[in-house]
């Protein structure tokens, strides 16, 4: 099934849509019930763990940091417990010298503006989500960016959810900062629901270092209602990848036809203007 919002991610699409009379004002997260395509050409992040420079830091509750597991899309897991993360989520700043600093950190080698987050799910089997614990567990990740691996800015947090927002057992989420452009409920082509709710973010700034720690919903906030007994704050990941611009929401064949039609209209309008000027 053609999904225009999913497909409309290539350069020039907004101009073409304007010519076709289609509004592009709203950039809502697209939820795809299938799996993410292979991230061809993406850079796999180097998961930094001591003795690496600027290593990941365990949170309140400990960690299971695993460099090899976090540096490849291999179905393995790296994680921290980050039950003290709410103060940094509130102010949007997390600097390594600060008390309570905790984060899983990836070095992408150079700065990229698109980040792809491959989750590692241990409470989700691929069926409908009918439990609030599972609904938060697939979104237990806040995303942070840095240029030096020491000083991080909050880029995206998950602040609430509607457990049936996309239909029975298909939650939708609210975000602070930049929302993911697309979320694949089915996970990855490589590992399916083990990577459930794989997602892609494109930010206004490119970052060399990406960090991940607990989100607000996993620390006990669901639409402002505190339910800490059901939440745990332990973001678990398989891998992080990056690219220069969106890569997962690639245009489908129908989109190319629409783009060509739009470009044809642009050319026709330009010719008409030139004829009138003559």
What's the rounded mean pLDDT across residues 267-278?
50
Assess whether pLDDT exceeds 60 at residue 273: no
Q: Cβ of 25: how many Cβ atoms within 10 Å?
A: 4
**pLDDT score at 231:** 74
The CA distance from 113 to 101, in Å, is: 24
Q: Which of the four pLDDT bands, split at 50, 70 and 90, describes residue 249?
A: confident
The DSSP symbol for 90 reads: H
H helix intervals, the chain: 4-7, 13-20, 67-70, 86-91, 132-137, 253-277
Q: Which of the four pLDDT bands, split at 50, 70 and 90, describes residue 277?
A: low
Q: What is the mean pLDDT of the chain?
A: 83
Q: Are 240 and 82 in contact (CB under 8 A)?
A: no
Q: Which of the four pLDDT bands, split at 50, 70 and 90, describes residue 275?
A: low
The SS3 call for residue 85 is coil
- Each residue's pLDDT tens digit, 106-163: 999 999 999 999 999 999 999 999 988 899 999 999 999 999 999 999 999 999 999 9
The CA distance from 10 to 43, in Å, is: 19
- Each residue's pLDDT tens digit, 8-20: 333 333 333 233 2
**pLDDT score at 81:** 93
Q: 17 burial class (0-12, 13-18, 19+ CB within 10 angstroms)? A: middle
Among 178, 168, 182, 176, CA closest to 207: 178
User: Lowest mean pLDDT: which of 14-18, 164-168, 251-255, 265-269?
Assistant: 14-18
Query: Cα 27 from chain centroid?
Result: 14
The CA distance from 183 to 14, in Å, is: 21
What's the rounded mean pLDDT across residues 193-211?
98
Q: Which of the four pLDDT bands, split at 50, 70 and 90, describes residue 34?
A: very high
């Amino acid at each position: 099934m053609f999904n225009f919002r999913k497909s409309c991610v290539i350069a020039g699409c907004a101009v073409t849509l304007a010519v076709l009379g289609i509004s592009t004002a709203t950039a809502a997260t697209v939820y795809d019930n299938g799996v993410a395509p292979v991230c061809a050409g993406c850079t796999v992040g180097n998961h930094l763990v001591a003795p690496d420079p600027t290593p990941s830091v365990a949170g309140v509750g400990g960690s299971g940091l695993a460099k090899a597991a976090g540096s490849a899309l291999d179905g393995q897991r790296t994680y921290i417990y980050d039950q003290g993360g709410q103060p940094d989520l509130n102010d949007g700043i997390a600097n390594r010298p600060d008390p309570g600093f905790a984060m899983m950190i990836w070095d992408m080698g150079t700065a990229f503006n698109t980040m792809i987050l491959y989750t590692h799910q241990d409470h989700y089997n691929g069926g409908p989500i009918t439990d609030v614990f599972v609904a938060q567990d697939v979104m237990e990740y806040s995303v942070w960016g840095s240029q030096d691996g020491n000083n991080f800015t909050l880029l995206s947090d998950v602040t609430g959810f509607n457990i049936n927002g996309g239909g029975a057992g298909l939650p939708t989420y609210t975000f602070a900062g930049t929302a993911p452009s697309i979320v694949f409920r089915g996970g990855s082509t490589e590992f399916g629901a083990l990577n459930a709710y794989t997602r892609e973010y494109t930010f206004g700034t490119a970052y060399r270092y990406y960090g991940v720690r607990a989100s607000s919903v996993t620390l006990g906030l669901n639409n402002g209602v505190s339910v800490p007994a059901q939440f745990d704050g332990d973001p678990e990941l398989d891998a992080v990848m990056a690219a220069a611009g969106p890569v997962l929401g690639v245009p489908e064949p129908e989109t190319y036809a629409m783009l060509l039609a739009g470009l044809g209209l642009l050319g026709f309008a330009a010719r008409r203007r030139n004829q009138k000027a003559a």
